[in-house]
Structure 1
Amino acid sequence: MADSDFPGWHGTTILAVKRGGEVVVAGDGQVSLGQTVIKGTARKVRRLSPGGNEVVCGFAGSTADAFTLLERLEAKLEATPGQLQRAAVELAKDWRTDKYLQKLEAMLIVTDGAQIYVITGAGDVLEPEHDVAAIGSGGNYALAAARGLLETDLDAEAIARQAMAIAADICVYTNGKLTVEKISA
């Protein structure tokens, strides 16, 4: 059977919002295979503490691929303590050039509370312009909602929760069972 004969895995929305000296990363819990919800309580946001430096990561895509990337990121962070940008760039370079890593299908949002980066397999390390970043099948919905909510007086967590609720109402691959992690600079 060809890969095209299998239904695609869908079901991740990850959102990071920076406001008031903290960053909140929220991820929904739904994993779908085609039109079927396989799991509704997956945990796609994790706190890492390599070398005592806290980093929060959210991932979209293949779970095994994402965990491979998280392990690599932890190693990069241990080699460059307190330098999230450098670790992210090193991971993106490896991901882009290593034949094994090139096949990985995932994206990451990472933050140390001061900076937010989206890391992709195309070698991108992107820092959002408006203190909001989102990935996954419902990412654009959550991003648009969060950008609009930045015009309010809500704190980062309230913005993230409301934006994720809006995304869950629109995207069939996103649910309202959230994992939320908060980190300060």
Structure 2
Amino acid sequence: MQQLHATTICAVRRSADDVAIGGDGQVTMGETAIMKNGAVKVKKIFKGKVLTGFAGSVADAFSLTDKFEKKLEEHGGNLKRAAVDLAQLWRGDQGMRSLEALMIVVDRDQMLIISGNGEVIAPDQDFVAIGSGGNYAYSAANALFNHTDMNAEEIVRESLRIASSICVYTNDHITVEKL
């Protein structure tokens, strides 16, 4: 049976008071079937202080988001410690090792990508994108972040809109969460 995959997520932090993450709404089965157009792949967690988004297998991503929120609670909201702990668990646990997803987590101070390989990556820039249309959204965010005065939400929305015009696995049903 083919897995359902969710695709493009983009996050931008202009300042501690201007942070946004967004995702498109498409869920694809395999390489050809669009199963859903209005999925929500981004959410606020940890009492609204952390934004998270996922790309990859939908069921796996929901499980990882729940586990990440528990790690945040264990570490008193310390984003990096929770991310490292989740990555270690993800990589070391036999059952979790097969989970297929990437996550972006962001708070007012940090932005991280968490992978199942045990990697926790803090990007050099205050923007990042993952998923099938991630390269397109990242390129758009790069240009908009560095050459406009657009706020974080505007950059996220426009970057995802641009990605949706190029990537067949990304649509223009965009959901954005802000801090």
Same fold (TM over 0.5): yes
Work out whether 1:12 is the aligned partner of 2:7: yes
Counterpart residue identity of residue 162, structure 1: E
Work out whether 1:93 is the aligned partner of 2:81: no
Counterpart residue identity of residue 106, structure 1: A
Q: Could you tell me whether the CA contact under 8 Å between 1:57 and 1:111 is conserved in 2?
A: yes
**Separation (CA, whole Å) in 1 of partners of 2:48 and 2:72:** 8
Partner of 1:59: 54
Among 169, 172, 176, the residue aligned to 2:172: 176
Partner of 1:83: 78
Partner of 1:3: none
Deviation readout 1:63-85 (Å, 9 max, x if unpaired): 11111111111111111112110
Counterpart residue identity of residue 160, structure 2: M
- When normalised by structure 2's length, the TM-score is 0.93
Partner of 1:36: 33
Partner of 1:140: 135
Partner of 2:159: 163
Unpaired runs of 5+ residues, structure 2, are none
Counterpart residue identity of residue 79, structure 2: L
Aligned residues: 176
Deviation readout 1:8-66 (Å, 9 max, x if unpaired): 644410000110332110000001122221100000001112xx462111011111111
**Separation (CA, whole Å) in 2 of partners of 1:37 and 1:179:** 18
**Separation (CA, whole Å) in 2 of partners of 1:47 and 1:10:** 21
Name the Cα RMSD after superposition: 1.4
**Separation (CA, whole Å) in 1 of partners of 2:48 and 2:75:** 10
Q: Once the two structures are aligned, what percentage of the paired residues are identical? A: 49
- When normalised by structure 1's length, the TM-score is 0.90
Unpaired runs of 5+ residues, structure 1, are 1-5
Counterpart residue identity of residue 45, structure 1: V
Whose radius of gyration is greater, 1 or 2?
1
Moved runs in structure 1, 4+ residues, more than 6 A? none
For residues 149 and 98 of structure 1, do their structure 2 counterparts lie closer, same or farther at Cα, with a shift above 3 Å needed?
same
